[in-house]
Chains A and B, each alone.
Chain A
Amino acid sequence: EVQLVESGGGLVQPGRSLKLSCVASGFTFNNYWMTWIRQAPGKGLEWVASITNTGGSTYYPDSVKGRFTISRDNAKSTLYLQMNSLRSEDTATYYCTRPAYWGQGVMVTVSS
């Protein structure tokens, strides 16, 4: 069974950093691109970052480019999202996803 379990969320002040993790199981992790998607409270879905199966290439929308970094450790079947210079508009539930499967999400709140 495919499982994606996120961790690392919480309350953080504007301008500070936070790193999310996602441990994957039930599939061959290094065969798949992985993606982070977020959802602000009561709002729709927004693509945040993607990484190729080898980690050789990464992709971001302009809203997070230069502030967020996606990475992976294929030996540990773990996906990461390093979030720097956080803003109030980054407040959201962050989902770890692979094609067709989503984790349960982790909440990030950016507030003073």
Chain B
Amino acid sequence: DVVLTQTPVAQPVTLGDQASISCRSSQSLVHSNGNTYLEWYLQKPGQSPQLLIYKVSNRFSGVPDRFIGSGSGSDFTLKISRVEPEDLGVYYCFQATHDPWTFGGGTKLELK
């Protein structure tokens, strides 16, 4: 199975700071069709996860442009510029390139 390793586990931030989360895969996430099915989700306290980024770098509808996904192969990053209060919660990366689909362990974005 593909293992997604997220770092850090927790990211203390000050509002207005930039935050960066890494997601490293145990194997390349490039599908045989050429697409890379790597997504990022945010789960706010008491809520269902919400999609932020799909196929590495595409923002889902309504997601602010301060969320930037990047990377390739097996190394991916989510950057959040100018963290706002509504950005706090747990971030998960997710891959749907290889069966079984798997999630990273999560990164908690919290206030310092």
Contact status A44-B48, CB under 8 Å = no
Interfacial chain B residues near A45, Cβ < 8 Å:
41, 49, 92, 94, 103, 106
Smallest CB separation, B15 vs chain A (Å) = 26
Any B CB within 8 A of the CB of A14: no
Q: Tell me which residues from 43 to 66 in chain B have a Cβ below 8 Å from any Cβ of chain A.
A: 48-51, 54, 60-61
Any A CB within 8 A of the CB of B86: no
Contact among A47, A59, A62, A104 with B48 in the assembled complex (CB-CB below 8 Å): A104
**How many interface residues does chain B have, given as a range?**
10 to 19
Q: Tell me which residues from 9 to 68 in chain B have a Cβ below 8 Å from any Cβ of chain A.
A: 41, 48-51, 54, 60-61
Contact status B48-A100, CB under 8 Å = no
Any B CB within 8 A of the CB of A68: no
Smallest CB separation, B63 vs chain A (Å) = 10
| Interface residues, chain B, with chain A CB atoms under 8 Å away | 1, 41, 48-51, 54, 60-61, 92, 94, 99-106
| Interface residues, chain A, with chain B CB atoms under 8 Å away | 44-47, 50, 59-62, 95, 100-105
